[in-house]
């Protein structure tokens, strides 16, 4: 069974791949570019909602840091998503990681 950390990493990478392909198709005026962008938005929601819930429910960080992460995930998804999933999640997530 896949754990939550692997799921978040996989959905983040899948989202970035779809976003890049959709943007490239849109720039090159290929047909169905909107479909790739729509799938990228759906992948973003399947990644961002669990991350935002995990940040809000965390007892390891204070409110200012929670607001910083929430703002980053909503506004700068590629950068904040990478930093959260690959660097800061071990420090922020509650005890579910220690199981």
12, 82 in Cβ contact below 8 A?
Answer: yes
Residue-range domain boundaries for the chain: 4-92
Spatial CA neighbour of 53 closest among 99, 1, 2, 7: 7
Q: What is the pLDDT of residues 18-38, one digit of tens each?
A: 889 999 999 999 988 998 889
> Six-digit token pair at 30?
């290929």
Q: What is the pLDDT of residues 81-99, one digit of tens each?
A: 999 999 999 899 875 544 4
Q: What is the pLDDT of residues 30-75, one digit of tens each?
A: 988 998 889 888 888 888 999 999 999 999 999 999 999 999 999 9
Whole-model pTM?
0.82
Q: Please state, as a whole number, how many other Cβ atoms lie within 10 Å of the Cβ of residue 87.
A: 10
């Amino acid at each position: 069974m896949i754990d939550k950390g692997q799921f978040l990493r996989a959905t983040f990478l899948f989202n970035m791949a779809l976003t890049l392909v959709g943007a490239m198709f849109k720039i090159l005026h290929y047909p169905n570019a909107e479909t790739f962008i729509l799938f990228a938005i759906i992948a973003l929601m399947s990644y961002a909602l669990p991350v935002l819930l995990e940040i809000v429910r965390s007892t390891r960080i204070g409110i200012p840091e929670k607001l910083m992460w929430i703002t980053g995930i909503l506004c700068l998804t590629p950068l904040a998503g990478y930093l959260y999933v690959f660097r800061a999640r071990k420090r922020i997530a509650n005890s579910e990681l220690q199981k």
